[in-house]
A and B are shown apart, each in its own frame.
Chain A
Amino acid sequence: MVGISVKRSKSLLIEQYIAKLERGEALLDDSSQNLVEVVGILKSYGVVLDAYSINLCYIANTQFLKLFPLFKYFNGQINPNKVAKFVWHDRLNYEYAEYCMKAMFWHGGGGLDTYLDTPEFAAETERLVKAYFKYNPLMLALHKAFKDFLPEQMRQMAYYSALGQFWRVMSDIFLNLSDSYDRGEIKSIPDVVKFILDGLVADATRPITYTVEVRGQEFDIIPKAAGLTFLADTAVPYVEAIFFRGTPFTGTVSYNAQAYEIPYDPGMFNYGALYADPLPIGGAGIPPTLLMQDMRHFLPDYLRQLYQHQSIRGTGDIRVQICESFQKSMFCVTTAAVKGLAPYPLDTQNSEQQAANRKYLKGWLNRILESQLVKVNSQIQTELKPV
């Protein structure tokens, strides 16, 4: 009985959300506070992503095949001041960017993942390895003994580069969004979604390539000919890997094999950004803490003041509050992605197109409604106090 009623209420919920999307609304409820939170957090996220993106591309372009990339987070600027700041950990947590890259790499999906297993890729990396370790017989011997070791590293580097390029676009979108909001052009959550969607569409077919240089010789690890594009080969796999699947956090999930808490199929993972519980943020074994920590430095004043007022602890629990806003903003990004990938425009009046759309939306919503969305939308919004 219970099972049936749960099922029924879920399908009811899906209907509600489909209607909502067809009306042109976003997954996230539209409210003034949500708008402030989403735009504000995307502003600081944009700043952080900008830095992440630059660093990922730097690593991919210059630190490949290095056994000891000690200064990989320095972007080539090694000076005592930067080293001191690094040692004091007064820096962005680029580890989080790598964490996302690794999760994306591990989950795979999309054209990039497929390309990395092609003979073309293998041949090019082989050429690269031979050239790079030309004067290092030890490494060449190791390469002979463990033939996948270095290619696997280069596959990872390809993901470094791809994620860097993806985030370049996203960072620009988010920062432009914030500027647009500051100019008073963004007035609601649907406006936010539309802005992001336009950005994604504009860059949808932007090619993803990766070329490295060894002693003046160029190697096309991902050539333009591979035909990899921004939306299909980085954005979609990214949403799948980071928003939906993620990796289980050691701080909340047991890896014990006999406890069977983690599914066998990574496709069934639901540890991604949309699902994660914001409450444990800041604790042990919760990797997104790194991102929240990075974002706290770049919050716009209006958002900081909102946090100051809405929590009994003021900014004492700011990382949890950031995470809550961040999740809201990611629902907007997800809405944009869902809209962008829909077979037909969602406001179509053609019933055949509508049916196709609904089938498509049902697939998404089935997963999205398991996430924190319902909880986020059911939260009572504290009224914004005039500051």
Chain B
Amino acid sequence: MMLSALILIPLLGAVIIGLVPLKGKSPRNIAIVTAISVLAISLILGSQFDLQQPGLQFAENIPWIEWIGLNYHLGVDGLSFPLVLLNSLLTLIAIFSTSTTIARPRLYYAMLLLLSSGAAGAFLAQDLLLFFLFYELEIVPLYFLIAIWGGAKRGYAAMKFLLYTALSGILVLASFLGLVWLTEASSFDYLSLRSHTLPLNAQLLLLAPLLVGIFIKIPIFPFHTWLPDAHVEASTPISVLLAGVLLKLGTYALLRFGVGLFFDGWVYLAPWLAILASVSALYGASCAIAQKDMKKVVAYSSIAHMAYILLAATATTRLSMTAAVFQMVSHGLISAFLFLLVGMVYKKTGSRDVDVLRGLLNPEKGLPVTGGLMILGVMASSGLPGMVGFISEFLVFRGSFPIFPIPTLLCLVGTGLTAVYFLLVINKVFFGRLTEGLTQIPPVKWKEHAPAFVLLLLIIAFGIKPDWVTHWSELQAITLLTNG
């Protein structure tokens, strides 16, 4: 029941906030309480999680619509648990960092909780159709969150997002249906489908649409253009969730279904995918250098860093699979951190333009603490040891190098470029003399920075004790790689 709680509690919260006419701060408070209870349940789940057992834990399986073969089958394993926890944490952080004066709070918080519920469901679903349902469910609230509370071009960005991800969903669904059809399985149950092994051709046939669908979600070049737009138009908390959790649905599906269901096909395509990963990494980095909007820089950086997960997945070794999960967590934390800080700069100065902002490190009238945190975030992102970005990327590269040395080295170049585009931003925005127009920036209260400090703490803690993350998924990696 614990797993259902992770889905149902936010759903319940959403329903209460959405339907009961609440006034003032109550929607926010209910949302926070909901998010805290979800986080608490996730932590309890973690404390009861058996690290020695590679398979599904806390499974719940209830037949739902039997004539289609849809079961309400939930379960958590080392692959999904870190992501479930990440989702719970970032949901709370997103709610907390939302402005208290946001318009239409009831709708907003309801949508946010719905989003969280959908993401949790997708991570927990052990039934292909159920996964798809949640995968789709999460799109709708996100669409509204961008379309209503977004920036100037929010309509365009939200529609673009909706079209892309809807297409992604259809492709994923097509692949799932095809799988059931070809394996002649009796249900969409993940585990039973895994036990069927299709011939290579059939696998490739099914893998191709699945991959395109997933690549849109991650996103991988050339299916990525919805992401920068979505990020730029989305408000800060939504960007945090989008980068931190929702993109992870793509990479999660990549490991769970791409590798897990079509192993032979995956291995067959791996060399090409590794090249695609390195292209995507370098392309994202290269685009990031030319951006003038801080948020766009972080968005393109996201594309580059998500590509490492694909790289790790292509190598299909125990190490690389563990590294892929680690990189998801690492990227989730770091990109959420960076989006929070960019959001803070935007909130206080009203601008994200690197040609406008200048000298924000000024200790009296600038945003020195934000600047200091931003420097740390940037360092974490560019893989500075002592923070989680280094070790996760090191494991990715170490995992993939023996299999695909050249793409790995290219991705390493991408890591080098991370420092280039981020330092350009940092030095322009935070160094130098404060611009004349920015002398009346409101101060940042410590409370406003609290979410960022929490993330920073985790970024450093996992950087120093990486096994706190890796030990969840180490065994699972083997299961994933043993075909069927």
Q: Do A and B touch (CB < 8 Å)?
A: yes
A311: contacting residue among B361, B362, B363, B440, CB under 8 A: B440
- In angstroms, Cα B481 to Cα A370, docked, is 74
Q: Is B364 an interface residue (CB 8 A)?
A: yes
Contacting pair B442 A281 (CB below 8 A)? no
- Residue numbers in B under 8 Å from A279 (CB-CB): 362, 365, 433-434, 439
Q: Is A283 an interface residue (CB 8 A)?
A: yes
| Chain A proximity mask over B438-464: 1 for CB below 8 Å, otherwise 0 | 011111000000000000000000000
Contacting pair B362 A283 (CB below 8 A)? yes
A312: contacting residue among B362, B364, B434, B442, CB under 8 A: B442
Interface centre among B364, B365, B439, B443 (most CB of A within 10 A): B364
Q: Is A98 an interface residue (CB 8 A)?
A: no
Stretch with Cβ within 8 A of B (4 or more), from A5-13, A65-73, A314-322: A314-322
- In angstroms, Cα B365 to Cα A307, docked, is 14
- In angstroms, Cα B442 to Cα A316, docked, is 10
Contacting pair A277 B433 (CB below 8 A)? yes
Contacting pair A312 B433 (CB below 8 A)? no
- In angstroms, Cα B363 to Cα A318, docked, is 11
B433: contacting residue among A280, A317, A319, CB under 8 A: A280
- Residue numbers in A under 8 Å from B364 (CB-CB): 281-283, 313, 316-320
- In angstroms, Cα B366 to Cα A319, docked, is 13
A312 touching B363 in the complex, CB below 8 Å, given contacts A277-B433, A279-B433:
no
Interface centre among A252, A277, A320 (most CB of B within 10 A): A320
Interface centre among A283, A312, A313, A320 (most CB of B within 10 A): A283
- Residue numbers in B under 8 Å from A282 (CB-CB): 362-364
Q: Is the interface of B mostly helix, strand, loop or mixed?
A: loop
A318, closest chain B residue (CB): B364
- Residue numbers in A under 8 Å from B361 (CB-CB): 283
- Residue numbers in A under 8 Å from B362 (CB-CB): 279-280, 282-283
- In angstroms, Cα B163 to Cα A45, docked, is 66
- Residue numbers in A under 8 Å from B441 (CB-CB): 312
A313 touching B363 in the complex, CB below 8 Å, given contacts A279-B433, A279-B434:
no
Q: Is the interface of A mostly helix, strand, loop or mixed?
A: loop
Contacting pair B443 A316 (CB below 8 A)? yes
Contacting pair B365 A252 (CB below 8 A)? no
A319, closest chain B residue (CB): B364
| Chain A proximity mask over B247-271: 1 for CB below 8 Å, otherwise 0 | 0000000000000000000000000
A252, closest chain B residue (CB): B433
| Closest beta carbon of chain B to A313's beta carbon, Å | 5
| Closest beta carbon of chain B to A45's beta carbon, Å | 19
- In angstroms, Cα B27 to Cα A116, docked, is 77
- In angstroms, Cα B433 to Cα A56, docked, is 34
- In angstroms, Cα B364 to Cα A58, docked, is 34
| Chain A proximity mask over B328-365: 1 for CB below 8 Å, otherwise 0 | 00000000000000000000000000000000011111
216-274 of chain B: CB within 8 A of chain A: none
- Residue numbers in B under 8 Å from A313 (CB-CB): 364-365, 442-443
| Chain A proximity mask over B36-51: 1 for CB below 8 Å, otherwise 0 | 0000000000000000
| Chain B proximity mask over A252-290: 1 for CB below 8 Å, otherwise 0 | 100000000000000000000000010111110000000
- In angstroms, Cα B365 to Cα A233, docked, is 39
- In angstroms, Cα B365 to Cα A319, docked, is 10
Interface centre among B361, B439, B441, B442 (most CB of A within 10 A): B439
B436, closest chain A residue (CB): A279
Contacting pair A320 B433 (CB below 8 A)? no
B442, closest chain A residue (CB): A312
A320, closest chain B residue (CB): B364
| Closest beta carbon of chain B to A243's beta carbon, Å | 22
- Residue numbers in B under 8 Å from A311 (CB-CB): 440
- Residue numbers in A under 8 Å from B440 (CB-CB): 311-312
| Closest beta carbon of chain A to B117's beta carbon, Å | 40
| Closest beta carbon of chain A to B446's beta carbon, Å | 12
Interface centre among B363, B433, B442 (most CB of A within 10 A): B363
- In angstroms, Cα B443 to Cα A320, docked, is 14
- In angstroms, Cα B364 to Cα A283, docked, is 8
| Closest beta carbon of chain B to A380's beta carbon, Å | 13
A317, closest chain B residue (CB): B364
- In angstroms, Cα B364 to Cα A279, docked, is 8
- Residue numbers in A under 8 Å from B434 (CB-CB): 279-280
| Closest beta carbon of chain B to A9's beta carbon, Å | 21
| Closest beta carbon of chain B to A152's beta carbon, Å | 36
| Chain B proximity mask over A126-152: 1 for CB below 8 Å, otherwise 0 | 000000000000000000000000000
- In angstroms, Cα B361 to Cα A282, docked, is 11
| Closest beta carbon of chain A to B366's beta carbon, Å | 9
A282, closest chain B residue (CB): B364
- In angstroms, Cα B432 to Cα A277, docked, is 13
| Chain B proximity mask over A297-313: 1 for CB below 8 Å, otherwise 0 | 00000000000000111
| Closest beta carbon of chain A to B208's beta carbon, Å | 57
B361, closest chain A residue (CB): A283
| Closest beta carbon of chain B to A53's beta carbon, Å | 28
Q: Please provide the 8 A-B residue pairs with the shortest distance between their CB atoms, ordered closest to farther.
A: A282-B364, A317-B364, A320-B364, A282-B363, A313-B443, A317-B365, A312-B440, A316-B443
24 CB contacts below 8 A, A to B, read A252-B433, A279-B433, A279-B434, A279-B439, A280-B362, A280-B433, A280-B434, A281-B364, A282-B362, A282-B363, A282-B364, A283-B361, A283-B363, A311-B440, A312-B440, A313-B365, A313-B442, A313-B443, A317-B364, A317-B365, A318-B364, A319-B364, A320-B364, A320-B365
Additional A-B contacts beyond A280-B434, A319-B364 (5; CB < 8 A): A279-B362, A313-B365, A316-B443, A317-B365, A320-B364
